[in-house]
Amino acid sequence: MYSLTTILGVFTFTSMIGTETLIPVFMQNMLGYNALESGLALLPGCAPDGAMMPASGRLFDKFGIRCLAITGFTIITVTGFLFTQLETGTIYGYVLTVYMIRMIGISLVMMPLMTAGINRLYRKLISHGTAMNNTMRLVGGSIGTTILVTVMFNAITSTGQPMPEDMIGGVYSAFMVATLLALAGAILTLFVKK
C-alpha cells in the first residue's frame, strides 16, 4: 500500500508540475502572451488547491482514500484530455478554467495519498517513509516533466523547420502523454485498499 501510494504520488506530482511547465510555454509561444500574463493564468489554480486541501483531509476521514483517489485521478484525466484540445484560437478563460478544475483533482489526491501510505507504516518507519515519499515525488516529478518537455520538443522539431501547427502538435503530444499517465494512475487507484 505504501509503495502504491508513493507511485500514485509521483503521477500526481508529475501531472501538477508538468502542466505548470507546459501551459506557460503554450501561452507564450503559441498564443503570444507575455511571461506575466502566462504566469497569472496559473495563479487562480492556487485558490481551489488551497481551499480543497483542508476539505480533502475531512473527506479522507469520511470516505477513505479509495473514493478520493478515483475521483481525483478521474478529474486529472478528464482535464488532461481537455488540454489536448488546445489550439491557436484557445481563449485565456479556457486555459484558466481547465487548470483550476485540474488543481481540484490534484488536491483531492496529493495529501490523502501520502497520508494513506504513511498510515500503513510502523511508527519507527514513519520518518523514513515520509522522507522517501517526498524524495520520490520530487525526483519522479522532475523526470516526468523532463519526459513531457522532451515529447513536446521532439514533436515540434520532427518536421525540420517548425511551423505553428507543429508547435500545437507538440503541446498536444505532451498533454496526451500526461493524460495517459493520469489514466494509468486512475487504473492503479482501483488497487488502493480502504
- Domains assigned to the chain: 2-191 (1.20.1250.20)
Look at 53-57, 123-127, 155-159, 182-186 and tell me which has the smallest mean pLDDT: 155-159
pLDDT of residue 87: 86
Q: Across residues 4-14, what is the average pLDDT?
A: 91
pLDDT of residue 191: 87
| Cell numbers placing 103 | 488543481
The answer to whether residues 31 and 88 touch, using CB atoms and an 8 Å cutoff, is yes
pLDDT of residue 97: 92
pLDDT surpasses 80 at 165 = no
The answer to whether residues 151 and 174 touch, using CB atoms and an 8 Å cutoff, is yes
pLDDT surpasses 90 at 76 = yes
Q: Which span out of 43-47, 63-67, 154-158 was modeled with the highest average pLDDT?
A: 63-67
Q: Across residues 168-183, what is the average pLDDT?
A: 89
Cα(120)–Cα(183) distance, rounded to whole angstroms? 25
**Which position has the higher pLDDT, 48 or 23?**
23
Mapped onto helix, strand or coil, the DSSP state of residue 64 is: coil
Matching residue, cell 503570444: 32
pLDDT of residue 192: 82
pLDDT tens-digit readout, 26-43: 888 888 888 888 888 888
pLDDT of residue 163: 67
Mean of the per-residue pLDDT values of the chain:
88
pLDDT of residue 65: 87
Cα(142)–Cα(34) distance, rounded to whole angstroms? 25
Q: What pLDDT band is residue 73 in, cutting at 50, 70 and 90?
A: very high
